[in-house]
A and B are shown apart, each in its own frame.
Chain A
């Protein structure tokens, strides 16, 4: 019932590469630019250009493409159906007609481009989360959200919540597994396909998890207070993120690609 959190798509892969070492804020901005570029405009040339950015990037980050492929698996049907839909619904030169549906050259082109675009968008998102530790990612997100604290939005609380959730993902996963095992030991049947027993099973896991979450929250509050944590208070950092020359180069290159997108 629970996926292994280590295989959750986009889980951080701690490797040593130029891309891993990039400033997380820069990485996040680049990802947003590349994704918006892909969403704003698309044609064959643009798709090619972005693919020529993505593939070498994975190479440099030393991430095998199978990791990327694995994260597509759950989405393969979506990609498949949307391409089939485009294949037959795009007006143009008909190649083949089945009843009122007709396969067109434009349709083939469009479905290829659109599914590649989807793959590219996911690819860039994955690249960011695969090469940035959760803690750094959260910090980058919250620093980009900083301006919003001007509007009195609770940016600090939000990023704390985000980083604690990430930190406790493995803990909660293990707990769910443990509870599941103990429910099996009490006779729960998790392989049953009937809706009623599925609902029962979920409830039998959720209730103990809520209980332990409340205890955990209490402990957490104590442990944080003991270690001098006050929300919104100034803190020093052990690991300052630096902005290097390479960050500047990558940022400028990305901005150029983004701008070119408008003219292709």
Chain B
């Protein structure tokens, strides 16, 4: 086999002046957009390290104080650690269950011929068109009838509906050449061998990406946990933040400190998995778009 490797271009051709101006303008615009995006985060941070007395009416853009009192208060005087525990627990469980259920569903839809398979996939696609909000009332009544209000199960179960994950996995499995499956069959492997020892390892990137997107989605979920949980002990962080407000009057510094702590795992996850997150968002929005 003669494989001709093309040399990477070592020197870029010099860019023309209009081209450079265009690039500069684009850079400035991108930077401006980034600033707009990051400002709330910055403002949250700045506010959270002020003292409560200093917050009201303070319009100074620069940090004029550095106090961690709000953080200490948040941790000591709110149920933040409990909410953290609830958030981590429910988010991990939802992520694991969503991936597991969806991967099995997608595999069956993609690889196994069975009566009603096409119809079932139609149902998955259709459920993808239904906005989650329209289901909320029914789901709430269901959870109430099942006595799951104020429980993890109540938070978790409705969030397991994840047609996007099924669709992404199905498209992935559809794209695997059928000989791959047949090779495993001839080697003596069954469906679970095909799925877990060959198909998924073919591209762990997809699973990682879907896990990140699902986890962030559940971590940030507010509406449903807010409805299904009334007891402070069962709240997740986004719901808990509303309690900081209620319990302390308007305590902006503390509120912002809780918000910072709430965002922390997502920020860390983003920094660690930066590339994967971008990929993940592209994969799942590719389906949506």
Do chains A and B stick together as partners? no
